[in-house]
Structures are given as C-alpha cells and as structure tokens.
Chain A
Amino acid sequence: MRRVAVAGVGLIPVKEYWDRSLQSLFAEAALKALKDAGTDKVDSVYVANMSGSFMQDQINMGALVTDSLGRPGLPAVRVEAGAASGGVAFHEAVKAVASGYSECVLVGGAEKMSDVLPEAATTALVMSEEQEYTAYTGVTQAGLSAMLHRLYLDLYAEPAQVGMMAVKGHDHSVGCKHAQYPFRMSIDRAMDSPMEADPIHMMECSGVGDGAAAMVLVPAADSGVEVVGSAVATDCCSLAIRRDPLIFESVRRAAEKAYSMAGVKPDDIDLAEVHDDFTINGILSLEALGLAGWGEATKLVAGNATDKDGKIPTNTFGGLKARGHPLGATGLYQVAEVALQLRGAAGDHQVPGAEVGLAQSMGGMASVSAVNILRRFGV
C-alpha cells in the first residue's frame, strides 16, 4: 500500500444555513480544500452524508456534488454509515489513494439538519438503528445512550462527572471560528437543564446544525500530514445482545487495528477528537480507545488530562457538543481538526508540539466506528 497524505483542508462554520442548499455547503468546503491543496487534479470524489435521503429527499449525492462543483464526469459516491459517515468516507478515500487506484481524492461531508423540524431530526437519528424491533419501541439515540449512561452512573461516576465532558468541550470551543456554540458552559448549567432522556440532560446533547468539511488526499511525499492508521469496525446493532453494553466493541476493534497500522500505542497519541454526541458516549469512547482505563474516563476529564495542555488533549475545537454535529460531515470535521493541529495551524486551539492525532466517529449506538490516525511528517 502507498502512504497517503492530507494535502488540503476546508471547513465552513457549523450553523443553521436557512438560505443554502446541501450541495452549496459541500461545494464551499470542497473549494476551500482544493485551494488549500493548490490542485485541481482531483480524480475521484467521496461524499459523506447521513440523512439527505430523509431530510432533503436526496440520494445519488455523488453525481449531485460533482455537478455542483462544475466537474461532471468524475467518479463519485456517497458513503453512509450513520453518524460515522464522515470517518468511514475518509477511510474509503484513504484506501483509494493507498491502493494506487486514485492519485488525488476529494473527500467531503455535508449535512443540513435545519431543513426539518426537531421531531424529524430525532427520527433521522434513530434511523441508524434496526427499525423493526429497536426503533419500533419509540426509543431515540439519546434514549439508547441514556440507558448506558445510567449503567455507568451505577458503577463508576456521579452525574456531574460525566457532565464535565460537555463543559470541557465548551471550554475548548471558545474562539473557534467554525464552532456552532463557541462559549463556556458551567457544570451547573448542564446539570440544571431539563432532562432530554433521563439521566441525560439537554445540555449534555449535541445540537442540530448544518455544516460541511472536506479534505484532499494524495500519495505522501515528505512534508505535511500523513494518514498512518485508518480502520472501520462494526458491532451487533442491538444493545440487548452485547455482552457488556458499556464496552464499545466497534471502537475498540477499529482502534486496535488503526494503532497497529500506525505502529503506535494509546500513550503515543498527542490529541484526540472523539464522538461526544452525548456526554456518556465521549466518556465510553475514551475508554474503548484505550486513552482511559475502563471506568476511569471521567477522572481523566475532571483531572484536566483532556485539556489543551493535558496528557491527552481531547476535542480541541469543542467536539460534537460545542463545535457542532452535522451528522455525516462530523467525522470529516474531526479529521480536519486533527490535520490542522498537526500542521501547527490550530491558532488558539493549538496543542503545542502535536505530532500524532486521532479522530474517532461512530454511527448508530456504536454499531459502526471509524478510527483515523494522522502524523506530522518528520517525526
């Protein structure tokens, strides 16, 4: 396999774009990434999108976005893996370059949640669960996470300790130009907010937003940021048949493979972007990634280890909670943020001396996960 590098990064702010179409968001991020890469020689396109078929009645996104970019003719395909779509699309794009099939790949994600009412957004999220016996109960993604949250509180932590995951995300988002909610939030505000799905409070949940992020991948030369590990794994879809529902097996498996490809251990990771769509999922992801011991992630977060100057800086631009969570685009925001960190281009969010970074996204109730590991050249 060839080594693969990130040649260009493009992001747009996560917010509600009432006046814009899904493809215009994609095009803006894509053009930024192409300009950043200084190339127009793209030979294939991957587009990550989770809910366009429900929220905009739009499938066949590959043709739609190449047309929007003024590049009809390019091969293009939509990658959908629930909220892990972005991370999985990045993985597919990496494989295209690594295999030698493609020389220059544009991989972008776009999602536009503000086109539907909140109840419909809730429905869109739970579409990533098995429909006839899981979604049929009327459960939501928040509700599934809440059942894990309650098990975790019984064993390991107090509610406010889990809630700190959201507080820290907001701390990190201050000053971030592409974050949807770049302000501080106190733990009291989180714990005093209404219940969304007991014991998860509303302010422990990521919001509804629109966004797009894109990157350009090429064969690695000797400068920039290299993709050194990339893996995807699945788990049984229903919590009811998992041996230990508090272990995100898909995350653990993808991480194990990505670490092995990269030749690194969790201790070597300088920063991580993890999937905190709900606080508990950020906590359980840190554990499944091996960045915290089982049952110990809240201690890590409360002990400032996930701060910018901590042992394992996490969600350095705010994470899903504060940067925002535009579903299919989210995984690409995460990887793009890691790339910016490794370039030393993260501004006020910069983790000093960052050399190796990890991005983890998951779809469904962690039934599919992607872990991508990037490294700065010359390390």
Chain B
Amino acid sequence: MSVPRYWRNEVPRYRLMGRKCVACGARYFPAQPVCTCGGTEFEDIKLVEAGEVVTWTVIRSPPLGYEKYAPYVVALVELDDGMRLLSQVVDVDPADVKAGMRVEAVFRKVREDGPSGIIMYGYKFRPMVE
C-alpha cells in the first residue's frame, strides 16, 4: 500500500472518526463526499467504541497479506448509538462468538507490506469484559 493512501486514512482508522451530514444528520463511517440527502457539509464525529455483534463469519481462506492471521473472525458490529461497521473480532475463540455478544474497539496491527514495507494498523473489536 502506498504511503499517501495509508496516511490519509490514519485519523479515521486510529481514532474511529466518522462524519455527520449537517443538513439531515445522517452519519457515515467511512466519510463520503455527498450525503444521500444531497448535503455536502459534514461535521466530524467520534464513533462510540462499544457495541454488539450482529452477524459474523470466520475467514479461513484469506486474501494476500492476511494469511498468518487465519482463521480470524470478521463481524458486522452495531455500535451502541446504532451505527454499524465491519471489523475483525479478536482475542476470542471463533467458536465462542455469538450474535449480541458485547464488543469494544481496540487498536491493533492489521498487516504488513513485506519485510521493508508499511506496517499497517487500525481498529479491531474484542469481547468486552463487563
């Protein structure tokens, strides 16, 4: 992955920052240039870092770059304010993942571009210790 492509996504990925349409209040993660209402003015929002698993899978045949992490869980997570996103769920046995399981965001390594390339980071979720 090229440096600019990685760098320009650092803030949303590291801090879980999305955007809210000023005109209609619709929230987006990731940000997009135009809202479905036609609005083009947005304000930054910080995503809630806790939520629950809606549905999930276990990736057993991963794409290039993710081989050493397989098998891993990817889930559709609904945050406590209703926003949804896709994320890996880590620190859990795939067999123990359940719909409705409480999860929280963590900052983790995602993959690396070979021995001399970028080491990529971002958010993942893990089971919440209540």
Query: Using a CB–CB distance below 8 Å, which chain A residues touch chain B?
Result: 118-120, 122-123, 126, 130, 132-140, 142-144, 146-148, 150-151, 154, 194-200, 238-241, 245
Nearest residue, chain A, Cβ from B26: A241
Decide yes or no: A122 and B61 within 8 Å by CB, A139-B86, A143-B74 being known contacts.
yes
CA distance A123 to B94 in the complex (A): 22
List 24 A–B pairs whose Cβ atoms lie within 8 Å, in order of A's numbering. Answer: A119-B61, A120-B64, A122-B63, A123-B63, A136-B110, A137-B74, A139-B57, A140-B59, A142-B57, A146-B57, A148-B55, A151-B55, A195-B60, A196-B60, A197-B57, A197-B59, A197-B60, A197-B61, A198-B58, A198-B94, A200-B57, A240-B29, A240-B84, A240-B85
Distance, CA A200 to CA B56, complexed state (A): 12
Contacts of A147 in B (CB 8 A): 55-57, 74-76
Instruction: Give the complex CA separation of A120 and B66 in angstroms.
Output: 11
- Which secondary structure dominates where chain A touches chain B? helix
B56-87 interface code vs A (CB 8 A; 1 in, 0 out): 11111111101101001011100000001111
Asked whether B59 lies within 8 Å of A138 as measured between CB atoms, the reply is yes
- In this complex, how many residues of chain B approach chain A with their Cβ under 8 Å: the count is 36
Known pairs A139-B59, A151-B54, A195-B60; list 4 more (Cβ under 8 Å).
A122-B62, A123-B64, A138-B111, A143-B59
Whether the pair A240, B63 counts as a contact (CB closer than 8 A) is no
Judged by a CB distance under 8 angstroms, whether B122 is at the interface is yes
A125 nearest CB across to chain B (Å): 8
B61–A196 touching, CB < 8 Å: yes
Q: Check B9 for interface membership: any CB of A closer than 8 A.
A: yes
Residues of A within 8 A of B67 (CB): 119
Residues of A within 8 A of B94 (CB): 198
Complex Cα–Cα for A139 and B94 (A): 15
Chain B residues near A150: list those with CB within 8 A.
Answer: 55-57
Give the distance in Å from the alpha carbon of A28 to the alpha carbon of B3 in the complex. 43
Q: A147-B55, A147-B76, A151-B55 are in contact. Are A140 and B85 (CB under 8 A)?
A: no
- Assess the B72–A138 pair: CB atoms within 8 A: yes
Tally inter-chain residue pairs, CB-CB below 8 A.
Answer: 101
Chain B neighbourhood of A199, CB < 8 A: 57
In the complex, are the beta carbons of A138 and B56 less than 8 A apart?
no
Which B10-67 residues sit within 8 Å CB-CB of chain A?
12-13, 28-30, 54-64, 66-67
B62 pairs with A240, CB closer than 8 A = no
Q: A133-B29, A133-B30, A133-B86 in contact; A138/B64 too (CB < 8 A)?
A: no
Q: Please pick, from B62, B63, B99, the residue contacting A154 in the complex, using a CB distance under 8 A.
A: B99
Find residues 85-104 in chain B having any chain A CB closer than 8 Å to their own CB. 85-88, 94, 99
CA distance A245 to B5 in the complex (A): 29
Smallest CB separation, B13 vs chain A (Å): 8
Residues of B within 8 A of A123 (CB): 63-64
- Closest 5 interchain pairs by CB? A146-B57, A240-B84, A123-B63, A138-B66, A198-B58
Whole-angstrom CA separation of A196 from B61 in the bound complex: 7
Q: Which residues of B contact A118 (CB under 8 A)?
A: 61
The contact of B85 among A122, A133, A148, A151, by CB within 8 Å, is: A133
| Min distance, Cβ A250 to any Cβ of chain B, angstroms | 15
Q: Are A239 and B76 in contact (CB under 8 A)?
A: yes
Is B61 a contact partner of A238 (Cβ separation < 8 A)? no
A362 to B127, CA, bound (A): 34
Contact residue among B30, B85, B88 (Cβ-Cβ distance under 8 Å from A132)? B30
B88–A137 contact, CB under 8 A?
yes
Partner pick for B86 among A142, A194, A195, A240, CB 8 A cutoff: A240
Residues of A within 8 A of B84 (CB): 240-241
The residue that A140 contacts in the complex, of B9, B62, B69, with Cβ under 8 A, is B62
Residues of A within 8 A of B111 (CB): 138
Cβ-closest chain A residue relative to B59: A143
A143 to B75, CA, bound (A): 9
Residues of B within 8 A of A198 (CB): 57-58, 60, 94
Contacts of A196 on B, CB cut-off 8 Å? 60-61
Most B C-beta atoms less than 10 A away, residue of A119, A138, A198, A239 = A138
